[in-house]
Structures are given as structure tokens and as C-alpha cells.
Amino acid sequence: MVGDQTAAGARVTVAVLTYRRPSQVAALVPLLLSQLDALETAVPGARGRLVVVDNDPAGSGRAAVERVVGGADRRLRCVVEPAPGISAARNRALDEAAPSDAVVFVDDDETPAAGWLTALVGAWRRYAAGAVAGPVVSVFAEEPDPWVRAGGFYDREHRAVTPTGRRLGSAATSNLLLDAATVRRLGLRFDPAFGLTGGEDSRFTAALTAAGAPLVWCREAVVTDHVPPERATRAYVLHRTTALADATARVRLLEHRGGLPRLLGRARVLATAACRAGLGVALWGRGRWREVVLRRAAVRDDARAHRHLARARGELLAAVDRHVQPYART
């Protein structure tokens, strides 16, 4: 069973993690406090809190938030988690959120739409959900290279038409509500082994749904992801694609226990990588043919080809236990 979401007086903690983005998190905090105001108005008896977990040991994010908000709102708590890695910061957020009934994760480079938090909480109550995920819409700070846009590196077409209430197998924590009672009952934590690679959210939510807790979609709970120019380069999006594919395949592999099941799982991942690489090569070849024979631009084919090849590389790395570490500290 999940928690008692139908009861009045639900305690909801919004958690935002940050690492060396002081100006962004300082701008986000007032918006999140406004979301708490709206929730407390819309849901009788609801009580909201906001926790900022700064993963910078120097506390740059906490200092920036305190300069903007100070002690003006007692619902806000800022803490520093010195242990490096996204898993350590997320687990600290879970600990700081106790004894809330729901914990909501949002990223420090996102902006919630009006009614975002109220929509998430409404879906949680309506569907008696163990978790609720919502859409993330990426917006570029500057018009990117047409190659990047043509490749669809930030597209999320598979969620665009998903109806509210549809069950999912896993989800990212960039826009996610967790039923705290379910998390406690299942003893779930974010896996430290994924702290520097990412994928800790997929592993966590896959474990939650495997235990029978419903993870549902709420298309009305929208956040905007702001993509700066440095994250819209060809090199960055290809590296990001490889890292995401690596983490996703790694989560799938960990679902297999024992020698033979794990071996068969690796074989399937390798076969998927080979097929994906073949598709990438085919798209690249079609693009070259269009350019040489038809004298037509083939930006989309070229970008999609490289996207498939980057995903294949990530799956191959996962199969041989060599992992990309986008959260590694330098």
C-alpha cells in the first residue's frame, strides 16, 4: 500500500539539488516558495517545505540562497552535503524531508509552470501513486546549431502524448514526486554506485515499480529545462547521449541476477548496441548519398546517425562495465 494521500493535511517537501550553480538556484527558490503557497491554497490543510541540498562542500549555493531569501521564510532549509555525487545528495534530500508524506524532486536549472506542484500532488492523491512524474520541456537559451536541433537530442517525443494516469516503468528525478511512506516501506535509497554516472533515478524508480508501487504520469505538471549554449554543442550532446545510454543499459543489466541471466542480459545489450550502430551507419550512408547524388543537405540524417552511434557506444560501455562519469569532480 502507498501512503494515505486522501487525508487532509498532507506534508509535502520540495527538494532541489545544486552544485556550483549559485545564481540559478537562488533564482529558483522564490518560484518554488510560490508553488508552496499555491499548493497550500488549493489543497486544504496541505503544508509545504523546501529543502535545498548543496553538493558543493564550499556551500556556494546555500550562500546564494541565503542572500536572496535569508530567514524570511521558515519553510526553507538549506544544507550542504559534502559527499560527492548525485546519489549522496538525493539521499540527503530524502533524509531532510522526513517526516513528510511526499517528496518532490526538481532540478536547479528548471522553472516550474503555474500549478506544477498542485498538479503533481493532485495526481498523487487521485491515483494513490507510489510516485508521479511530469513533463520536462527543454528550451535553448540561444538558437543552437541546426545539427543539434535536427538530431532531437533534447526531444522527449515518447512522453508528448502520454495521458495523465498512465503507468510508467521508471522515470527521471528532474520532475518527480515520491510517496514517502512507500519509499520507507520498501527501504529504497539512491544507489551510491551511480553517484558519478547518473542513472540513479532510473534504478530507484525501477526498483519502486518492480515492488508493485504505481508510478504514474501527470502531463499537467510541467517544468522547463533551460539549456545554456555550452550544453547545446555537438560534443556535449553526443557525450550526454552516450552517458544516458550507458546508465540506462546498466540499470537493465542489474535487473538480472545470477551468472547465466546476467550473461544473457549482456548479450542482449550487445545485440541492441550492434543493431543501433548498424542503423547509425545506414543513416550516415543515406545522408552521404543525398549530399553527393541528389545535392541535398542531409543534416537530419547525419545528426540522427551520430545520435544512434553515441547510444550504441553507451550500451557497449555498459556491457563491458566501463562507465561514463558526467558527475565526476575535477
124 and 220 inside one domain: yes
What percent of the chain stands above pLDDT 70?
95
Q: How confident is the model at residue 1 (pLDDT cuts 50, 70, 90)?
A: very low
23 and 150 inside one domain: yes
Q: How confident is the model at residue 329 (pLDDT cuts 50, 70, 90)?
A: confident
Q: Which of 186, 203, 229 is the last residue of a domain?
A: 229
By mean pLDDT, which of 78-87, 148-157, 169-178 is the weakest? 148-157
> What is the DSSP-derived secondary structure letter of residue 120?
H
> What is the DSSP-derived secondary structure letter of residue 316?
H
295 pLDDT above the threshold of 70: no
Q: How confident is the model at residue 307 (pLDDT cuts 50, 70, 90)?
A: very high
CA dihedral angle for residue 173, residue 190, residue 188, residue 25, rounded to 10 degrees: -40
Q: Which domain holds residue 135?
A: 11-229
55 and 189 inside one domain: yes
Contact 98, 180 (CB under 8 A): yes
Residue 290: strand, helix, or coil: helix
Residue 250: strand, helix, or coil: helix
Sign, Cα dihedral of 289, 292, 295, 296: positive
Residue 293 to residues 121, 282, 286, Cα–Cα distance (Å): 56, 16, 10
Q: Residue 328: inside a domain, yes or no?
A: no
What pLDDT, on a 0 to 100 scale, did the predictor assign at position 256? 76
83 and 159 inside one domain: yes
8 pLDDT above the threshold of 70: no
Q: Residue 326: inside a domain, yes or no?
A: no
Q: How confident is the model at residue 127 (pLDDT cuts 50, 70, 90)?
A: very high
Residue type, 214: P
163 and 79 inside one domain: yes
70 and 186 inside one domain: yes
Q: What is the pLDDT of residues 270-283, one digit of tens each?
A: 999 999 999 999 98
Length, in residues, of the chain: 330
139 pLDDT above the threshold of 90: yes
Residue 12: strand, helix, or coil: strand
Bridge partner residues of 18 (DSSP): 54
Mean per-residue pLDDT, 290-297:
71
330 pLDDT above the threshold of 80: no
Which cell goes with 166? 498512465
The phi, psi pair for 193, rounded to 5°, reads -65, -20
By mean pLDDT, which of 124-138, 144-158, 290-304 is the weakest? 290-304
Q: Residue 218 is part of a domain; what is its CATH number?
A: 3.90.550.10
195 and 246 inside one domain: no
Provide the number of structural domains found in the chain: 2
Q: What rounded mean pLDDT belongs to the chain?
A: 93
160 and 56 inside one domain: yes
Mean per-residue pLDDT, 14-34:
97
Q: Which of 213, 229, 245 is the last residue of a domain?
A: 229
Mean per-residue pLDDT, 32-58:
96
286 pLDDT above the threshold of 50: yes
Q: What is the pLDDT of residues 153-181, one digit of tens each?
A: 999 866 778 999 999 999 999 999 999 99
Q: What share of the chain is helix, strand, coil (3-state, %, to 5)?
A: 50, 15, 35
